[in-house]
Amino acid sequence: MNKLSILFTAALLGLFITACDELNENEENGERVREIAVETITLTADRFDDFIRLTGSVEAVSDAVISAEASGQVLRIAERGQRVNRNGLIASLDDRMLEANVRAARAGFDFAEETLQRLEPLYADSIVSVQDYRAALTERDARRAQLDQAEKALQDAEIRAPFSGRIEERMVRTGELINPGMPVVRLVNTDRVRIRAGVPERYSAEIREGSEAIVSLRSYGGGEVNSAVTFAGSVIDPDRRTYTVEIEMENPDGLIKPEMVVNLRLKRRAIEDALIIPRTAIIRDEGSENIFVAREENGHLVAALTEIRTGTATGSLIEVLEGLQEGDQVIVSGMSALSVGDRLNVLRNENSAERFSRLNSGSNGMAQAR
């Protein structure tokens, strides 16, 4: 066989194989059959948690501006960013004058105490009048108060932390003269944070203290933390028509920072035995909502269009109230190329509850915190 004959034979063989392949894939009983690749879910009744979505802001539970309670020159003060323990020293003032005041007040008290003790037996023998004795008693008490005041002022020359935290800001510097009430530092502890949000008043009967909350952190790739509402206000903001809720949570790694904006989902209720589908599976037409389902016809799966009525929606999922039943095979991918009656090539079918559980667990990037 010459070279030309070999090439001609190979070409004929290739055409024959191609024709056979097209016949297997696209023809049945001599007629072309259109098969559309789709993905489906088999509906199973499951619990559906109904959440509302809000935006909240973060603040530290322990955040305070520490002010001076005594007058004096600043001798030492903690550095910005320095951590201090509860009752740890933040700043100290020049206390030499205060110590002198304590010594003077103690001397005055000691003298008044000695005078009173000397008069007591004389008063008992009626040698000293009631008026003189009461005057000595009053003087002793006044001197005691002066000593207490002087000792308190000396104690206040050391400014100490009311809680453990980090020096976020310094308002004064070493050598500066300060007076009582003057801000010295801002002390912040972010080991526990509080998230505040405004909830529309129409949810006041549903979102209460103890309601489940899911916090999504925008700045950390959308990782989620499970928590609960720790405070629900009883007063409505007249301008926004909302009431305040707070969520307190542990923050040992410091990932959540004050003034950060977070997304919240607050649980309104749990719907038992609900049929749930993805919102993207719905085809809307002139006010109606429709869904493609896979129906068996002559031993094959074909596309059928069913009108439905939907209910509660949360995120990408929505509840179906009418039009579907448990066991229906809903088409969730490939709908754009579908027409009613098209033959289906189901690439993947999943139980609806298992699919949504898998998707939810895959999006949860952080550990739970109660």
> Whose CA is closest to 42, among 356, 299, 363, 298?
356
| Averaged pLDDT, 358-368 | 48
Where is pLDDT greater, at 37 or 8? 37
Q: In whole angstroms, what is the distance from residue 253 CA to residue 299 CA?
A: 59
pLDDT at 20: 36
pLDDT at 60: 96
pLDDT tens for 302-357 read 999 999 999 888 778 899 999 999 999 999 998 888 889 899 999 999 888 887 77
pTM value surpassing 0.85: no
Q: Is the pLDDT of residue 79 over 80?
A: yes
Helices 96-124 and 130-156, interaxial angle, to 10°?
A: 160
pLDDT tens for 248-295 read 999 888 888 999 999 999 998 888 888 999 999 999 988 899 999 999
pLDDT at 24: 34
* Domains within the chain, CATH numbers bracketed: 31-48+272-363 (2.40.420.20), 52-61+192-270 (2.40.30.170), 95-156 (1.10.287.470)
Where is pLDDT greater, at 21 or 337? 337
Q: Would you state the structure tokens that stand for residue 90, as one six-digit string?
A: 């933040």
Say which DSSP state 75 is in: E
Q: What's the gap between Cα 27 and its chain centre?
A: 57
Task: Give the pairing type, strands 343-351 and 35-42.
Answer: parallel
pLDDT tens for 189-226 read 999 999 999 999 999 999 999 999 999 876 666 678 89
Q: List 133's β-bridge partners, or say none.
A: none
Q: Is the pLDDT of residue 5 over 50?
A: no
Where is pLDDT greater, at 81 or 357? 81
b vs e for 110-125, b when ≥16 Cβ sit within 10 Å of the residue's Cβ?
eebeebbeebeeebee
| Averaged pLDDT, 135-162 | 93
| Averaged pLDDT, 101-121 | 92
What is residue 63's three-state secondary structure? strand
Tell me which of 36-45, 114-123, 225-234, 323-332 is least confident: 114-123
Work out the pLDDT band at 120, boundaries 50, 70, 90.
Answer: confident
Q: Is the pLDDT of residue 18 over 60?
A: no
Tell me which of 2-6, 14-18, 44-48, 108-112 is least confident: 14-18
- Cα atoms found within 13 Å of the Cα of residue 101, Cβ hemisphere only: 18
Q: List 31's β-bridge partners, or say none.
A: 28
Tell me which of 25-34, 98-107, 161-170, 205-214 is least confident: 25-34
Question: What rounded mean pLDDT belongs to the chain?
Answer: 85
Q: In whole angstroms, what is the distance from residue 49 CA to residue 69 CA?
A: 52
Work out the pLDDT band at 367, boundaries 50, 70, 90.
Answer: very low
Q: Would you state the structure tokens that stand for residue 198, as one six-digit string?
A: 């405004």
pLDDT at 337: 83
Q: In whole angstroms, what is the distance from residue 273 CA to residue 173 CA?
A: 65
Q: In whole angstroms, what is the distance from residue 266 CA to residue 208 CA?
A: 10
Do residues 225 and 250 touch, judged by C-beta distance below 8 A? no
pLDDT at 253: 83
pLDDT at 225: 87
Q: Is the pLDDT of residue 370 over 80?
A: no
Where is pLDDT greater, at 126 or 246? 246
Residue with tokens 């003298």: 111
